[in-house]
Structure 1
Amino acid sequence: MKVLQKHHPMLMMLSLTLVIISSLLFGIVNSSYLIDGQQPGTCQVLTSSSYCYPLVSPQGQPVYIPFNVTIDQIETNITSLLSLPLNDECLKPAQLLLCSMYYNPCNNVTIDYGNGTTTPILLPSFPCFNVCETAFQGCSDYIQYLPPNFKCDMNTSSGQQQYPQYQTSFNITLENVTGTGENNYTTELIQCNDKYTGNIVGSCPIPLIFAPNRSKDTYYTISDNCVLPCPFQLWNESEEKAIKDVSLILSVLSFVCSVFLIIFNGILPNKISTTNESILYVALGALFLAISQFQNLGQNNFSCSEDPGRYVTQSDVECGINGFLFQLGAILGLFGWGYASYDFYRTIRLKSIEKIRYIRIVIWSLVALMCFIPFAGQRYGSTLATSGCWITGDKNNPWPYLFFYAEAIPTVLIILLFTGLTTQKLYSVYKQIQSQSMLLYDIKLMVVMVLIIFNSTFVLSFKFYMDKQTDDIRSRIADWVQCIAQNGESSCDLNIPDYSLRILQVITTNSWGILGFIAFALDASSLALIRQSNRANKLLKYFGWEFKQTKSLTGTGNHRLSKIIPSNTATTSIGSTSSTSDGTTSTITIQSNVPNS
């Protein structure tokens, strides 16, 4: 915790408070006496709304209010002084000391002159020395916030011990008691006070929320029972709005692109090839991601529960659904891109995929395990830095690492491997064919694959980076809360770094459908697919339209191959097979000008 300037406004207020307490200590029924030369005050009973009401013992005990001081002023001072994020070791003794210091128990004393003349007066009980000493020791980490001359053996301005060991001797001046104009003087001994006990509920500095006995772990604790409110903005309002706007725009675009890919790879083809299948995985993954984003962006404060300060968990049904959809989309999309990179590689190598059914079994088995096990373990929940739900966990919790990163990292490496091998093969083919259309098409695909590698790597790295930054973020928030307590919110800024990384994380997470559309749909072969689709022609014929029939291809795999290695009039031919979803294969022959070797 940072050391503050010594002559801080809060410290000046504390010093002034001690002067007020020591100089305006005494109560009076009328103005016929002085105590230690000072004007007295009054005795009042605290209401239940008072900060110190739970501590005053016995309940209903009148407390001493100094001359020209109001309870509202005292309440403001106490709440300001206790607004620091104190730990439990300090908080309770500090509460007891301040309440004992501001609200001294009131003692009714009657001065009897022995001739039937009496004068009722009111005297306070100062806090005992042990009350101060306990607070001083328990709050050793916060001593720098006290005035430099603060000690438990300090004296008041009239020479009395501020925190007596046993009792305080008050000098009473009785004005004109006998009617002769002369003053009488006497001394009264009052026992010190160490009777206040208990704890103040809900004592947390603004803007923190008091949340004791928490049964769930989705609270963000700053000090003991004081937690961050929900929602809580790590960045300013305009920056938070930008995050939501970017997320919404990209999610809508990704959703539309995903639907297009599903239509063109799952509905229009007469048969589903392995290429169609890999693209469908990409599209479905992006679709589920977009739906999960719509769910949390469509509600105000989706990540917050009805319990103050608690972020939603899987027990909140909508969060469970949201987290499941996000996990399903992330895993399916990542596996889809891995599958697509391999399909791209085998296409350029002119090879079919062997034992395709086993690849499907592996993919869907992993998807099921990675989505349902966290669901069964009640691990989906929201976090401070995200707008929706996902697998909860940090650097000390293995769940997200076991059920996402352990599978995602090898998949990214597979994408990297096959992208590199494909690039190498394309370069060797291009040197012999020298086709401009082939070059542009293949560059487009390779750029998209590189972007996918970047997106995946960044999203994975961002999680590890934020886990390392957790302690620093909590420290910055604690310093900010402390600043508000001392200077007011208008004078304090919450400086959380890495906003640009957060924006980049939003972009990389929500752009998978867009990249899939660029890679697999922005091509003339999409129009050819419509012309050759039995379903499309049947629908068009219903409305009286009809394409001129051409030879039908089984899927987009052959369209892609004709782009990667364009047809020529040369005599050399290369055979290729493309697997379909029912296990059959189709064969095409491509004429090229690759010289015989």
Structure 2
Amino acid sequence: MIIKKIIFLFFISFLIVNNNIEKVQSANGYGLINPNATCSPYIGDPIDLRICNGKLDNIYTESGISQKVSLLTLEAAFTKLTFLQTQCPNINFSQFGFCNLLLSPCETVQLPARNISFPKRICKSTCTAIVKECNILSTYFNCTNDNAFPDLYNLYNASAYGFTTNNGFYPIQCENVTDLFIKTPNSQISEVCPPPLLLRNSSDPRYPAEKGYTYLTPTNCVLPCPAPYYTEKKWNQMFTMSKIVSTISFVCCIYNICTFGLLNKSVSKYNYCIVFFSASVALINLMDIVTYAIGYEKLLCPEPGRFAVQDDVACGVTGSLFHFGVTNGVLWWATMAIYLLSVVKRIKMIDFRIFVLFNTVVSLIMLIIPLSGKAIMAGTGSLACWIRKTWYVNGVFWIPLGLCLFIGAGCIILVIFQIYKISKNVSKDRKILKLQIKPFLCVTLVGGSFFYLFVFNFDNERHMDEYKASIPGYVQCLLAGGNQETCVSEGPNFAAYFMFYFFIRLFGILFFCIYGTSENARNIWIHSTLLNHPAIKPFLLKYNIVNYNSVTVFGSGMAATNSKSMTSGKNKTNSGKAIELEINDSVTASKGHTISVSKVDENDDSKSGSGMDTSSDS
């Protein structure tokens, strides 16, 4: 248990408290009388702390010694006692002893000359009971010291004030803390948490763990939010990266959607894949934009010491956007891999609308399941609200992602093998390879990014027990006087964690670089109604912003082939036959023979300008 590991780190730090105790005892002076001392009511605990209320009545106060000094010492002692609850089952009794030791009870006696106030020391029997209950405190409760812990009485020399009995030594009965403890059965343990840990009552319905509080059981101290894995500077680096990359990626996604979906006059299946994948990534980026518009810490940590959960509206909405986006994106990536293979292998695809329906319905189901279990939350250390309950996130994302990676990887391997066979048949003609390099690169890079996320997640889960085991060291650092900048707990490697969130936000930029900058994209814009509008086209021509004469024969960018080139191609093949691969509509791959496939799918539009080539220049 975490708290047990903390116990053995406290011996050295407790010496400071012990020294303060000795100083107070020396200041009181055993057997000596301070004529200026008085019995004063206990001024009470600080507003934000509960220390000795209910454990004291009147206390011995010497002139020039403030109760606040002793309270600071008690606060330091109680901070450490808070984390000894597993070692000392009756820690409340020990706290009674500390309060009566550092703020001695008081008794005022009327002597012949004047009234004198005397401190009452803890009885030896109480000292012995405290040490028996919590042996670790034996260093601070030296029960062999008869002056500090008398059997029955302390004797004070009161002869100077007219007291003559017993040779002038006035007996003051010791304080039986055990009796006082028994008389206050409802007294609760006084817990003090070192900053930035916060004290919350776990039994209070306002502060349940389900609401986002991470308790260091058996204490009521909660971890700060975000988790102390990194310094504030490193967290800010993550926030800054997320803001910049997500914003750029979102703009790139909108561009791809407009280019291949809205402006494209003849949208191919592969264009639809690009559009749907870009829309999914745009949802992921939109989640980030909403998050940093509200404020990362405000959304992820709505209250000090509490991370956001699904019941927090902003967290529930952004988490839903993120999960639907990333799930739908994975499915469309797998669809792209399948479609790429089907075209290269000349396999007739099922109706494309089935892919649209399947991917959408599955994504919705994968979202509804965790929402029903209230599994969406920010977690102790993250950049976004998402599914944090292990069984939910594994069942509705990581396992399906693993399946999609397996399918996609299999398709990629088969595509590589098929292209190798085709390129081998056409000898030195590398046109086929060049035609497919960008779609192949896109599917591979996106798949590689998803694979990294998959591996990092399960590696992180594997080390989770190690991260939890580092909490005692973090708490000890705080108890030794450290702060948020000097004390951090062990967590995921910062660079690996940084890249995990970076890759999730990179997909929009990646698709823009591969497809958005292609010749096909340029041709779509040049042929678009927008750039050919009578109010816009003259302006673009006047300032030579767009060269309308630089468009390829096919508006889609499909490789134009004329009879001359085909004749030339015949002379280059081993068999004297033309070899041509139009990845969208016709595939040529058969040991030097031209094989024309009119349409992979009868419903697919393969007209000129359709942009149905899967290459980014198509």
Scaled by the length of structure 1, the TM-score of the pair is: 0.81
Residue 208 of structure 2, aligned match among 215, 221, 228? 215
Spell out the pairing of 1:162-201 with structure 2 (5 A cutoff). 162=149, 168-177=152-161, 184-194=168-178, 195-196=180-181, 197=184, 198-199=187-188
Q: CA deviation at 1:38?
A: 5.9
Q: CA deviation at 1:205?
A: 1.9
Alpha-carbon contact 1:25-1:65 (below 8 Å) kept: no
Task: Work out the CA distance in 2 between the residues paired with 1:467 and 1:136.
Answer: 41
Q: What residue in structure 1 maps to residue 488 of structure 2?
A: 494
Aligned AA for 1:154? T
Alpha-carbon contact 1:448-1:518 (below 8 Å) kept: no
Task: Work out the CA distance in 2 between the residues paired with 1:5 and 1:365.
Answer: 54
Q: What residue in structure 1 maps to residue 469 of structure 2?
A: 475
Alpha-carbon contact 1:126-1:168 (below 8 Å) kept: no
Q: What residue in structure 1 maps to residue 351 of structure 2?
A: 355
Spell out the pairing of 1:342-421 with structure 2 (5 A cutoff). 342-394=338-390, 398-421=391-414
Q: Deviations over 1:543-595 (max 9, x none)?
A: 44795798767898999964799999x98342142548xx455479xxxxxxx
Spell out the pairing of 1:261-410 with structure 2 (5 A cutoff). 261-300=256-295, 301-394=297-390, 398-410=391-403
Task: Work out the CA distance in 2 between the residues paired with 1:53 and 1:532.
Answer: 75
Q: What residue in structure 2 maps to residue 509 of structure 1?
A: 504
Q: CA deviation at 1:119?
A: 4.1
Residue 12 of structure 1, aligned match among 10, 15, 23? 15
Task: Work out the CA distance in 1 between the residues paired with 2:371 and 2:282.
Answer: 20
Shifted more, 296-305 versus 126-135: the winner is 126-135
Q: CA deviation at 1:122?
A: 2.2
Aligned AA for 2:96? L
Q: Deviations over 1:442-468 (max 9, x none)?
A: 334333333222211221232223333
Q: Secondary structure at the match of 1:107?
A: strand
Equivalenced residues, count? 554
Task: Work out the CA distance in 2 between the residues paired with 1:222 and 1:558.
Answer: 69
Q: Deviations over 1:135-164 (max 9, x none)?
A: 545556xx2xx57x4456331xxx3352x5
Note if 1:575 corresponds to 2:597: yes
Task: Work out the CA distance in 1 between the residues paired with 2:348 and 2:100.
Answer: 84
Shifted more, 68-77 versus 428-437: the winner is 428-437
Across the aligned residues of Structure 1 and Structure 2, the Cα RMSD in angstroms comes to 3.7
Spell out the pairing of 1:6-155 with structure 2 (5 A cutoff). 8=12, 10-25=13-28, 36-37=31-32, 39=34, 41-50=37-46, 55-57=52-54, 61-65=57-61, 69-84=65-80, 86=83, 88-89=85-86, 90=88, 91-111=91-111, 117=112, 119-128=114-123, 132=127, 135-136=130-131, 139=134, 143=136, 149-150=139-140, 153-155=143-145
Task: Work out the CA distance in 2 between the residues paired with 1:482 and 1:11.
Answer: 11
Task: Work out the CA distance in 1 between the residues paired with 2:470 and 2:490.
Answer: 7
Q: Secondary structure at the match of 2:216?
A: strand
Shifted more, 120-129 versus 306-315: the winner is 120-129
Q: What residue in structure 2 maps to residue 520 of structure 1?
A: 515
Task: Work out the CA distance in 2 between the residues paired with 1:57 and 1:83.
Answer: 18
Aligned AA for 1:235? Y
Alpha-carbon contact 2:121-2:154 (below 8 Å) kept: no
Alpha-carbon contact 2:277-2:328 (below 8 Å) kept: yes
Shifted more, 225-234 versus 290-299: the winner is 225-234
Q: 1:110 to 1:438 in 2, by over 3 A?
A: same
Alpha-carbon contact 1:252-1:290 (below 8 Å) kept: yes
Alpha-carbon contact 2:209-2:215 (below 8 Å) kept: no
Q: Deviations over 1:105-158 (max 9, x none)?
A: 2112234xxxxx354322333345565556545556xx2xx57x4456331xxx
Aligned AA for 1:349? K
Q: Secondary structure at the match of 2:597?
A: strand
Task: Work out the CA distance in 2 between the residues paired with 1:364 and 1:491.
Answer: 45
Q: Percent same amino acid among aligned pairs?
A: 18
Aligned AA for 1:206? P
Task: Work out the CA distance in 2 between the residues paired with 1:361 and 1:585.
Answer: 20
| Unpaired runs of at least 5, structure 1 | 27-34, 112-116, 589-597
| Unpaired runs of at least 5, structure 2 | 542-546, 562-579, 609-618
Task: Work out the CA distance in 1 between the residues paired with 2:125 and 2:416.
Answer: 78
Q: What residue in structure 2 maps to residue 204 of structure 1?
A: 193
Alpha-carbon contact 2:97-2:177 (below 8 Å) kept: no
Q: Secondary structure at the match of 2:250?
A: helix
Q: CA deviation at 1:510?
A: 0.8
Aligned AA for 1:236? T
Task: Work out the CA distance in 2 between the residues paired with 1:392 and 1:491.
Answer: 27
Spell out the pairing of 1:430-469 with structure 2 (5 A cutoff). 430-433=423-426, 434-469=428-463
Task: Work out the CA distance in 2 between the residues paired with 1:261 and 1:540.
Answer: 24
Task: Work out the CA distance in 2 between the residues paired with 1:179 and 1:457.
Answer: 88
Q: CA deviation at 1:399?
A: 1.4
Aligned AA for 2:83? L
Q: Secondary structure at the match of 1:302?
A: helix
Task: Work out the CA distance in 1 between the residues paired with 2:583 and 2:33.
Answer: 99
Q: 1:442 to 1:353 in 2, by over 3 A?
A: same
Q: What residue in structure 2 maps to residue 260 of structure 1?
A: 255
Aligned AA for 1:424? F
Shifted more, 348-357 versus 170-179: the winner is 170-179
Alpha-carbon contact 1:314-1:378 (below 8 Å) kept: yes
Task: Work out the CA distance in 1 between the residues paired with 2:471 and 2:309.
Answer: 23
Task: Work out the CA distance in 1 between the residues paired with 2:255 and 2:239.
Answer: 24
Task: Work out the CA distance in 2 between the residues paired with 1:361 and 1:440.
Answer: 33
Alpha-carbon contact 1:234-1:494 (below 8 Å) kept: yes
Q: CA deviation at 1:53?
A: 6.5
Task: Work out the CA distance in 1 between the residues paired with 2:560 and 2:277.
Answer: 19
Alpha-carbon contact 1:92-1:199 (below 8 Å) kept: yes
Q: What residue in structure 2 maps to residue 594 of structure 1?
A: none
Q: CA deviation at 1:482?
A: 1.7
Q: Secondary structure at the match of 2:169?
A: strand
Q: 1:216 to 1:88 in 2, by over 3 A?
A: same
Q: CA deviation at 1:80?
A: 1.4
Note if 1:160 corresponds to 2:147: yes
Q: 1:458 to 1:139 in 2, by over 3 A?
A: farther
Alpha-carbon contact 2:78-2:190 (below 8 Å) kept: no
Shifted more, 229-238 versus 550-559: the winner is 550-559
Task: Work out the CA distance in 2 between the residues paired with 1:44 and 1:462.
Answer: 62
